[in-house]
Amino acid sequence: MPNTFARTAAIAALLAGAASGALAQEDNGSILVQSTTSTANSGLYDYLLPLFEDETGITVNVVAVGTGQAIENARNCDGDVLLVHAKPAEEKFVEDGFGTERTDLMYNDFVIVGPEADPAGLDGMAVVEDALALLAERSATFASRGDDSGTHKKELSLWSEAGIDPAAGSGDWYRETGSGMGATLNAAIGMGAYTMTDRATWISFENKQDYEIFVEGDDALFNQYGVIPVSPEACPSVNAEGAQTFANWLLSAEGQTAIGDFVVDGQQLFFPNAPEDDTAS
Amino acid sequence: MGEALALAISLVASGDADLAEIVALSLRVSLSATLLAAAIGLPLGALVAVGRFPGRGAVLVAMNALMGLPPVVVGLVVYLHLSRAGPLGFLGLLYTPWAMILAQTILIAPIVAALARQVIEDLHAEYRDQFRSLCLSRGQVIGALLWDARLSLMTVGLAGFGRAVAEVGAVMIVGGNIDHLTRVMTTAIALETSRGDLPLALALGIVLLVIALGVNAAVQTLHTRAARSGAHV
Amino acid sequence: MSDVATSAFTRRPRAEAQEAPATLLPFRAEGVALTLGGARVLDGVDLTLAPGGCTVLMGPNGAGKSLLLKLMHGLTAPDAGTLSWNGLGAQAATARQALVFQRPVLLRRSVKANLDFVLKARGGDRGRVAELLEHVGLADRARTPARRLSGGEQQRLALARALATDPEVLLLDEPTASLDPGATQAIERIVARAAAAGTRVIFVTHDVGQARRLAEDVVFLHRGRVVDHAPAARFFDAPGDPAARAYLDGRLVV
């Protein structure tokens, strides 16, 4: 009987050993991207990365979190490249010496979605400020990310431009989920609330139920993504060469074309807009 | 629900390579964490069970309280230590399975220790006079109690494994849910939920449940065989 | 002294604590008293035991027999009085004695492993396992899980384990209380052989027949006191105390 047990213990120990053997991972040819969730959740990386990896042999690992957390992680040197969408915060990151250079990479736009019944009557509104004013006036339930992400920062700036302080309705009609875009969409749908999302996440989101887009196309809803290699001066541990190679490839004609080629359900999710001189390199 | 079940069956039946990889990593991480937690928690629990020392009451309270550690807090603390900016950053462990094993070990070691303490204390009440009559050293007492309680302690280990394999908060933060590197069942479920693919998320949940059932069944079989051969009479 | 009662471990006696006597006997108890849960369970026990032979401790239920045995073995400390094994305190003498409990606590492993554990723990010769099993008639059960043994076999294994430590004094607390006559006889034979080989035996029983078979002298306890201590022949012929007389006559003694 003790034999049976000892044998089992030995097998368990072997298993653990096998686990540790298989876990050894430190590849010089890999980089870590701290990314916003919309690019990862929409499947963009699943499409782009194999192209890049085939060409360069560099493995790209992606940690997808909100823009605020991604920038914070990169400030802790836990990443080689930053790919997010909150321009002022990105510029501050570079100014503070954590990034070598910020470059526009691509864009899409934000949309405001809500239940088909449209209780606030947003249908047909072209100006986002008016739409937000209407939401506040009617105290229509609105789900905010509330997580310091790029989308959240954008949403707050839109309320501010509309001259509204949504915090006054916090917990009442203004509901801050403190979660990612997907979780916030699920929550909004669960409580019949309006919410603002980037178009890429919305198109690839599979739990839309009876939700549809009510406000889109306003220039104020423009959503710019940027790419920043993390500075080896601030973070000596980074794979600076790999990071630069990745950024250059994304900004090259080939990378830009690949971004434009990525479609979900026949719709293009991201529109490349790297500066011309970069696409040339 | 039916859709999810059908999807779960087809995922498993088709031998989906990504799923197999995620399942294997889940098992490796959580089993390794369970073994490590047992290596720490069992002797610690036994020591507290049989020892009488100043501050024992405080240790007991701490152990029991730590059983309720929120995974997110554990993840955050481990992240802050393993981050490149943290004291252990030079090890380069963040966003590797090692970080996940470490976080889960911290999460479940108190559970293993606290439950083992109870099991061993009960057994010790039965054995105490005999052991004192035999003039055993503290180490001999602990060794004999751990071995004699082995079947109950396997159940303690299962409780730890169950908590480890089911938690998402800690591995999400320290593992990063990186595809083909640190994605495990729970973080994959969280990802599919955020993508709004609820049937797939639920299907993965069903697969996770089946895995947990499988591990429990394996231990139960071992338990029964050992009990039949007299280990638990 | 509650520290001793609850302490998980008995440290091995240190040589410097007391000069170790060559023999543990004579044993002397003076004014030993113990109160448990408000009840005076031992109330001034005075007792002297000479070297050699088999002493039987008798008395009605609750007389304090088992507790006195525990005190003599050093597992519990008295509230008052002294226990001395030829000058050595009871707790310092534990390692030179063995106690067989009424219900033996066997480890959850094989018969053989139970003996091996004790020999290893006590630094004994681990080659003696087969000999010890042979001695108690368990040679063919070596690989059986100890807790699968019958009651009589379990008690014989407990005896083998006790003998494995080469005790100078063998204490037994009603070891055959729940055994059938065949099993009882086997136990008595082993105990008698140990006594014949020079081990001092102190045997608690409430079985008068057993006491007659084994005892060279009898200690009769009643209400926490030694009320009679005499050679077996004298005790059984003419008990010196009314309670002992009543007990031997099979009357209820409270």
> Which domain CATH number covers C34?
3.40.50.300
Q: What average pLDDT does this structure show over C177-206? A: 94
Strand stretches in C96-162, DSSP E: 97-100
**How many CA atoms lie within 13 Å of B140's alpha carbon, on the beta-carbon side?**
21
Cross-strand partners of C34: C42
Asked, for residue C200, whether it belongs to a domain, the answer is yes
| Per CATH, domain A28-107+223-280 is 3.40.50.170 | no
Q: Which residues in C28-53 are b (16+ Cβ under 10 Å) and which e?
A: ebeebbbeeeeeebbbebebebeeeb
d(CA B98, CA A139): 48
Closest residue by Cα to residue A19 from B32, B212, B175, B161: B32
- Closest residue, chain B, to A183 (C-alpha): B194
For residues C71-89, average pLDDT = 94
Ranking A5-9, A176-180, B40-44, C144-148 by mean pLDDT, the lowest is A5-9
Q: Is residue C111 part of a domain?
A: no
- CA C184, CA A33: separation in Å to the nearest integer? 79
Q: How do the pLDDT tens digits run along chain A, 281 residues long?
A: 445 555 555 555 444 444 444 443 334 489 999 999 989 989 999 999 999 999 999 999 999 998 999 999 999 999 999 999 999 999 999 999 999 999 999 999 999 999 999 999 999 899 999 999 999 999 999 999 998 889 999 999 999 999 999 999 998 999 999 888 999 999 999 999 999 999 999 999 999 999 999 999 999 999 999 999 999 999 999 999 999 999 999 999 999 999 999 999 899 999 999 997 644 44
How many A×C Cβ pairs under 8 Å? Answer: 6
Q: Which ipTM score applies to this complex?
A: 0.87
Calculate how close chain C gets to A5, using CA atoms only, in Å: 11
Would you state the pLDDT for residue A3?
Answer: 52
Q: Which domains, from first to last, does chain B contain? A: 2-228 (1.10.3720.10)
- Structural domain boundaries in chain A: 28-107+223-280, 109-221
Distance from chain centroid for Cα C69: 6
A1 shares contact with chain C (CB less than 8 Å): yes
Token reading at B75: 């993840």
**A2, C145: Cβ pair inside 8 Å?**
no
Q: Rounded to whole angstroms, how far apart are CA atoms C182 and B48?
A: 44
User: What CATH class is the domain A109-221?
Assistant: alpha beta
pLDDT digits (tens, 9 = 90+) for C210-219: 999 999 999 9
pLDDT confidence of residue B225: 84
Look at residue C61 in the predicted model and tell me its pLDDT.
87
- Expressed as residue numbers, the domain containing C184 is 23-105+167-248
Angle at A128 between CA A127 and CA A131, to 5 degrees: 95
Q: What is the 3-state secondary structure (H, E, C) of chain B?
A: CHHHHHHHHHHHHCCCHHHHHHHHHHHHHHHHHHHHHHHHHHHHHHHHHHCCCCCHHHHHHHHHHHCCCCHHHHHHHHHHHHCCCCCCHHHCCCCCHHHHHHHHHHHHHHHHHHHHHHHHHHHHHHHHHHHHHCCCCHHHHHHHHHHHCHHHHHHHHHHHHHHHHHCCHHHHHHHCCCCCCCCCHHHHHHHHHHCCCHHHHHHHHHHHHHHHHHHHHHHHHHHHHHHHCCCCC
- Chain C residues closer than 8 Å to A2 by CB: 109-110, 113
pTM, to two decimals: 0.84
Among C41, C53, C46, smallest CA distance to C84 is for C46
**Rounded distance between C-alpha atoms, residue C101 and residue C26, angstroms:** 23
Please check the confidence at residue C10 and state whether its pLDDT lies above 70. Answer: no
Residue C9 placed within a domain: no
Q: With an 8 Å Cβ cutoff, are A75 and B85 in contact?
A: yes
Counted domains in chain C: 1
Q: Which residue of A has its CA nearest to B200?
A: A206
Tell me if the bond preceding B43 is cis, omega within 30° of 0.
no
The predicted-structure confidence for B138-171, as pLDDT tens digits, reads as follows: 999 999 999 999 999 999 999 999 999 999 999 9
Backbone angles phi, psi at C137, to 5 degrees: 75, 30
Q: For the purposes of burial, counting CB atoms within 10 Å of the CB of C140, is it exposed (0-12), middle (13-18) or buried (19 or more)?
A: exposed
User: Chain B partners of C109 at a C-beta cutoff of 8 Å?
Assistant: 147-148, 231
Can you tell me whether residue A58 is helix, strand or coil? coil
Distances (CA, A) of C164 to A115, B176, C122, C197: 82, 59, 9, 14
Q: For residues C1 and C76, give the distance between their C-alpha atoms in angstroms, rounded to a whole number.
A: 9
| Cα(B92)–Cα(A24) distance, integer angstroms | 11
User: Which chains share 3+ C-beta pairs under 8 angstroms with B?
Assistant: A, C
